[in-house]
Chains A and B, each alone.
Chain A
Amino acid sequence: MGNLKEKVDKKKQKRSKKDNNSKFSEKDAMIKKEDERSKVNKPAEKKKRKREKGNNFDGGDAIQTSREDDQTKAEGEKKMNKLRKKKQRSEEQNNALVGKYHQPGSESEVGFNEQKCKSKKTKKKKKEHDTSKEEENKVEKRGETDHGEAYCISSVDEDCSKGLKKWLTDYHQSRPGLKVLQQRLDEFIISHEEKLEQERKEREAQVAEGGWTVVKHHKGRKKTTDSESGITVGSVAPAAVENQMTKKKPKEVGLEFYRFQKREAQRSEIMALRSKFEEDRKRIQQLRAARKFRPY
């Protein structure tokens, strides 16, 4: 927490500085800064990138336990600067090792502490990867040549079309205040009612054109508000509604009144049992296929 406080304080300082400057100069300075950084950073970043490469080989602290790997690691570190191709290949191997986790649903023990790769498995994976090697090579190459350095996300605080700034703007825009919202709602409801009214009129007009008047039975339940005074006559208790919705139990009496009903019930039950029996057989077959009977 202390750390955070510090940061907050620092930012405050920075901000106050900036506030002193005029807007124009601020921007200017930013651009300058950016330029400078890109210039200065280039060599430094290259180094960084290389280091990262190294990390690639020894970084997977948990993953690499096989001897073969150590070799690639040594190899990689030695010849990294000389042979780019070899480097690529070793990286690919690395990739293959990681490949164990490629499938999201892999049944293997996941991570934490037992991230030891079985060499057998990796070999298998490697073979799989061979097929897609070329494809990956392409990808890798492109990655290498075109984007030698990590891309830097720019104009963090200016661009309002993306990222945090956008989300904040969206947030503030979505809360224009109760009055505005109320107004919008009113507008919607008025237009909605107009639309309904119009639809009704059109319908009536259509009906009138044909010379017929359609007499409709008015469906729906009784009104719960008195039309004159607007007083609520009967409210629907939520408990009652829930009761109605959840507990529609069939009446128990009368189901087995006649003998034929009884017989039918028995028959249908037998049928149900039979179908269940069949299901059971199927299930057993499935179980047999799945073989889940190992209690250890």
Chain B
Amino acid sequence: MGKFNRLKSPSKFLNSNLKVQYANRWTFKVSELINEVQIDHSPAFTKHVNDTVSSIRNSIDKIPDNLVVTGEEAAGFVRDVGADKVEFKFKKPKSIEIGGSYSIKCVVKPDISVDLFIQLPKECFHEKDYLNHRYHAKRFVYLCVISKSLKSDSSFAKVEWSTLQNEARKPVLLVYPADKLAEVPGFFVRIIPTAKSLFNAAKLDLKRNNVRALNQGEISLPTPRYNCSILEDVCLEDNTEFLKKTFLGWKALGEALVLLKVWARQRDFIHSHDGLNGYLIAIILSYLVAHEKVNSSMRPLQIFRVTLDFIANSKLWTRGLFLQKQGEIKILKEDRMLYKQLFPVVLFDSTTHINLTFRINDSGFSELQNEASLTLQCFGKSGDSAFEDIFMTKIDFAAKYDYCVRLNLKGNSEFYSSGYCLDEECWRLYEKKVHSLLSQGLNDRAKSIRVIWRNIPSCCSLENGLSTLDGEPLLAGISLSSLDKAFRVVDIGPDAEKKEEATRFRKFWGEKAELRRFKDGKIAESTVWESEQWMKHLILKRIVEYILLRHLSITKNSIEQTVDQLDFSLLHGVEDPMSFSASLLGAFDVLSKRLRLIEDIPLKVSSVQPLHPAFRFTSVFPPEPHPLASEKGNVPRLHKLTSSCIQPLEVMIQLEGSGNWPMDDVAIEKTKSAFLLKIGESLENSWGMTCTATEDDVDVFQSGYAFRLKILHERGLSLVKREIGSDQGKRVSSADQKLFVHSQHSSMINGLQGVFPIYGPVVRLAKRWVASHMFSACLSEEAIELLVAHLFVKPLPFTVPCSRITGFLRFLRLLAEYDWTFSPLIVDINIDFNASDKKEIHDKFMLTRKGYEESSQNISPAMFLATSYDKASEAWTRLSPNILELKRLVAYARSSANLLTRLVFQDQTESDRWECLFCTPLTNYDAVILLHGDRLPYPQHLLFPSKLNHGRLVARGNASKAFHPFMLPGDLRGSLDKLKNKLLVDFDPLRCYIADLQKECNTLKLWYDSLGGDAVGLTWERSCSKKRDREEASDAEDPIDVLKAVGEAGKGFVKSVHFLKAPRLMN
């Protein structure tokens, strides 16, 4: 008790402790993050920078003054920007200064660069050079001269062209020094020309026209963006000076800037030319400082939050921001209004000459605001993982948007037909065009649409003109508003009576528009996208394709859409087996009715619950109705490919309570069997259903499906519970308990799937992926369902996924990036965990991690999945995956996630194809067994026949004639009963084979695909201790002999056994 004496007021202590604790972990993580990404301005680094800069200076100094320069240097560029009169005499730059983030010590890894401002000398320019891109041309030619000189200098390894914020008419030079410093790999200097006091700012007012080519006859259109582009250079140095004044000597502000940069960089859809960049973030921060929204007592994280809050919620954005205080603003009200009309965001610099945010467009800004508010939600909701969600999670196009569309416009001449650069550049105009087309076409189906064309490749030769800048694809991301809207079949347009709107509608949709009369009597223009249920996710794809083809002069091949690229893995022939689900559910309803009606058994059936994943739409291959599995009646006409196997679907039954049940486990199970047999018999007698049974399972056929009946006996449950209570170490899980957990899981997932219809397809892709990489033994189907459920229940920092590809990508990333060793994954499907539940889970989790300090291998379960019915993660991941399996799983997931991301951003190449995601490399095993593909129970489930062209062939065998996956024509004759006997329920040779192998040899670990793969991977299990190793080494079995025995065990099923690597006998 003495401890508490000094704590006079416990509640105070409590609060402060909580805060300290919360802040503690945050501050630690944040400071570690800052240390990680910030660059140390060590003497060595500073010297390196200074040396590079001074050698650049020397190199420029060597250029002779008064060198006459003409446009010939870069004829292509000059022609394409449309400049006349480019000649000038070269003079040295007025000054060469370091600017940018280096000057305020806020460089953020991994891009380590220093901005070098070169002030263009006034002598080289005429007073009127702001006209007709003359400035841009001269600027480029001037840089060309410098680049020539630098290229001939041996102290630079490489000189490359790049551009300022993706603006092709404003190139910059990237200079890589020849001397490298190990601390800063890939270091380069960016040479940016500035135009301080070159031009009179009044001439570049936004109402003025400065590109005469834009004039149409007498009318001269203003060129606000062109003017801003020049003004930016004019004001660049002043603004940098302003930033320096704000940032230097204020560590917390600098760190906040670093945090914001990290935050923005993780989100590539706002960190772009029409969104944020480091410079703009710094400007926004200094705005907040100038307006006293940020003060010197704040910590970096606080400043970060304030900034995001400002971005997301401030009303000031609608009025325009000024870096000066209220009283000092010298701008006319009309001008302000004009700015607001022209730009979605207005942020004036300290001189009030230029809107620094002139590149930001509508969609860029609204996405920025959305993202900022999402991040603020993360602070509130995510709890422990907030830091990871905000700073460590990559939120790129592929993971953020539900539908990604890629346009390959290489060689398309449409978009620059009226010139590359007028007021705006042609690429930006094209972005806008695509955006407006998509938003008009998709209407309220889309929540947000983002179009970005990062058209300038990393190294390009601008001298030859701008026509080569179309190599990169244009990306469009679409977030769905809701699935109901996105899957809508009919779009109702304007009323037929509104002539004007109707013609506009017709013009937009062309032949797709039709006049329809609707149920409520309304006659309106409309578009109809008829589609089967399982193809509804393709409606949006069809619309996008239709619109783009109609309004842009592009071919079908140049539109790449990601939505359906992985559907091949789920199809059954040409159809998705999911289309049978309705008939399955119908059959189940009939069955459950019949079960309840049974009278001739001692206890009545009180409830029937489906357990199999097919009932909750999460089975990769839900069964299709089998012609032989229907009730008695006519012999059905059998087509030639009638499967000889049928997959049973588990159904759980509960009986009325009774006191007469036996007390011990075995007897309970036997009694259940007896009940089930009676039930089966009764169904046979009264409904003509067929029943077949083994000692453990009873299956009944109905409407083409086989149902496997199970009885849950509640008392069995409580029996086991008591046992656990008395002895923690001994975990007994009886059949009843397993059933109970299954039923809980099943009903929970069923509910979730009802809320999120896209959940099912994502799970199916995930299951297919896990199986096709031969992890069937490691990760149970239910665990996969929970992992995917987590993506839907806790979507932050994203929103809930609305397409299968996006969901699948997030699943892979979750698997690859989650900190499985140190954190439990809490899947709170009904969102009903309170603090004490969480604490309980956490305590249980810590118990499982106790062994970690002794050895990092000593963790079980390696993957801790807590749910409301299973807080200790005992149900699905207790035994597998173990730590090694999990490591392998994570490595595969990471590599697949990277591949999938690449496929969203780029075209397929020879080695990067969509199929590769489900095609596992067989070289990663010590030995491989190939099976006869035509002896698998469902050969049509096999994705790719496996091939192996290295390793040693150890054994090979022929296929047995005893089993065929399809009924042979000879078998099809005969009575229905006879035929039914030939139907094999739940016969899976692979499963039998695996069981036999596991019984026989324990030196092998098996990796297989339970969904119908034709290969089994083998790895040698490592022996436990070295000592035993040595002893065994002498008399260890010959691996070749082992493999032969393995082949023998799969007689008639195994095609060949290949030996790749010998076991490692010594460590």
- Interchain CA distance A197-B17 in the complex, whole Å: 65
Q: Which residues of A contact B883 (CB under 8 A)?
A: 105
The answer to whether A208 has its CB under 8 Å from any CB of chain B is no
Contact at A270–B14, with CB atoms within 8 Å?
Answer: yes
Contact-residue size bin, chain B (C-beta under 8 Å from the other chain): 35 or more
A104 touches B887 (CB 8 A): yes
Q: Complex: how many Å from CA A147 to CA B949?
A: 19
Given the known A-B contacts A63-B923, A224-B658, are A152 and B955 also in contact in the complex, defined by CB atoms under 8 Å?
A: yes
A234 interfacial contact with B, CB 8 Å: yes
B36 touches A111 (CB 8 A): no
Looking at B171-179, B416-424, B984-992, the stretch in contact with chain A turns out to be: B984-992
Q: Which residue of A lies closest to B717 (CB)?
A: A245
Q: B810-828 CB contact bits vs A (8 Å, 1 = yes)? A: 0000000001011000000
Partner of A164, one of B14, B895, B1053: B1053
CB distance from B344 to the nearest CB of A (A): 29
User: Is B192 part of the contact surface with A, judged by Cβ < 8 Å?
Assistant: no
A198 → B minimal CB distance (Å): 15
Whether B950 pairs with A56 at a CB distance below 8 angstroms is: yes
Which of the candidate stretches B315-323, B525-533, B1057-1065 sits at the interface with the other chain?
B1057-1065
A150 and B923 contacting across the interface, CB-CB below 8 Å: no
Minimum CB–CB distance for A142 against chain B, Å: 6
- Assess whether A284 is in contact with B923, with CB atoms less than 8 Å apart: no
Residue in A104, A136, A175 whose CB lies within 8 Å of B692: A175
Tell whether B465 is near chain A: CB-to-CB under 8 Å.
Answer: no
The answer on a CB contact under 8 Å between A163 and B1053 is: yes
- Chain A: CB-nearest residue to B641: A1
Contacts of A235 in B (CB 8 A): 606, 656-657
Taking the closest CB of chain A, its distance from the CB of B699, in whole angstroms, is 9
Residue in contact with A98 in the complex, picked from B110, B884, B954, B1061, CB distance below 8 Å: B1061
A174 at the interface (CB under 8 A from B): yes
The answer to whether A113 touches B1049, judged by C-beta atoms less than 8 angstroms apart, is no
Q: Is the CB of A185 within 8 A of B677?
A: yes
Judge whether B954 and A151 touch: CB under 8 Å.
yes
Given A164-B1052, A184-B695, A270-B7, A294 and B658 contact (CB-CB distance below 8 Å):
no
Contacts of B822 in A (CB 8 A): 283, 286-287, 290
Instruction: Tell me the smallest distance from the CB of A141 to a CB of chain B, in Å.
Output: 11
Q: B435 interface residue, CB < 8 Å from A?
A: no
**Residues of chain B contacted by A105 (CB below 8 angstroms):** 883-888, 891
Interface membership of B42, Cβ < 8 A:
no
Q: Are A112 and B958 in contact (CB under 8 A)?
A: no
User: What is the bound-complex CA distance between A91 and B714, given in angstroms?
Assistant: 61
Q: List which B655-703 residues lie within 8 A (CB) of chain A.
A: 656-660, 662, 666-667, 670-671, 673-674, 677, 680-681, 691-695
- A104, B883: Cα distance in complex, Å: 11
Whether B1066 pairs with A131 at a CB distance below 8 angstroms is yes
Against B, the Cβ 8 Å flags (1 = close, 0 = not) of A159-198 are 1001111111011001100100110111011001000000
Which residues of the other chain, A, contact B949 by a CB distance below 8 angstroms?
A: 55, 59, 61
A102 within 8 Å of B (CB atoms): yes
In the complex, A106 Cα to B692 Cα: how many Å?
Answer: 47
* Interface size range on A against B: 35 or more
B266 at the interface (CB under 8 A from A): yes
Q: Give the contacting residue for B607; candidates A52, A112, A238, A272; CB below 8 A.
A: A238
Q: Given contacts A136-B1062, A225-B660, are A110 and B895 in contact (CB under 8 A)?
A: yes
Select the stretch in B20-28, B88-96, B148-156, B347-355 that faces chain A: B20-28
CB distance from A240 to the nearest CB of B (A): 10
- Asked if A164 contacts B960 (CB within 8 A), the reply is yes
Contact B694 A175 (CB under 8 A): yes
Residue B251 at the chain A interface, CB threshold 8 Å = no
Whether the pair B677, A182 counts as a contact (CB closer than 8 A) is yes
Q: Which of A15, A60, A150 contacts B954 (CB 8 A)?
A: A150
Are B961 and A178 closer than 8 Å at their CB atoms?
A: no
- List 19 A–B pairs whose Cβ atoms lie within 8 Å, in order of A's numbering: A4-B939, A105-B886, A109-B894, A112-B899, A115-B923, A139-B1040, A143-B1059, A150-B954, A156-B961, A163-B1049, A165-B1052, A178-B681, A192-B662, A224-B659, A267-B4, A270-B4, A270-B7, A273-B14, A279-B846
Q: Which residues of B approach A to under 8 Å, CB–CB?
A: 4, 7, 10-11, 13-14, 17-18, 21, 24-25, 28-29, 32-33, 35-37, 109-110, 262, 265-266, 391-392, 602-604, 606-607, 640-641, 654, 656-660, 662, 666-667, 670-671, 673-674, 677, 680-681, 691-695, 714, 717, 819, 821-822, 839, 846, 868-869, 883-888, 891-892, 894-896, 898-899, 911-912, 916, 919-921, 923-924, 926, 934-935, 939-940, 949-964, 966, 968-970, 984, 987, 989, 992-993, 996, 1005, 1019, 1033, 1038-1040, 1044, 1047-1054, 1056, 1059-1062, 1064-1066
Ranked nearest first, the 5 interchain pairs of A and B with the lowest CB-CB distance are A163-B1051, A153-B957, A105-B887, A111-B921, A59-B950
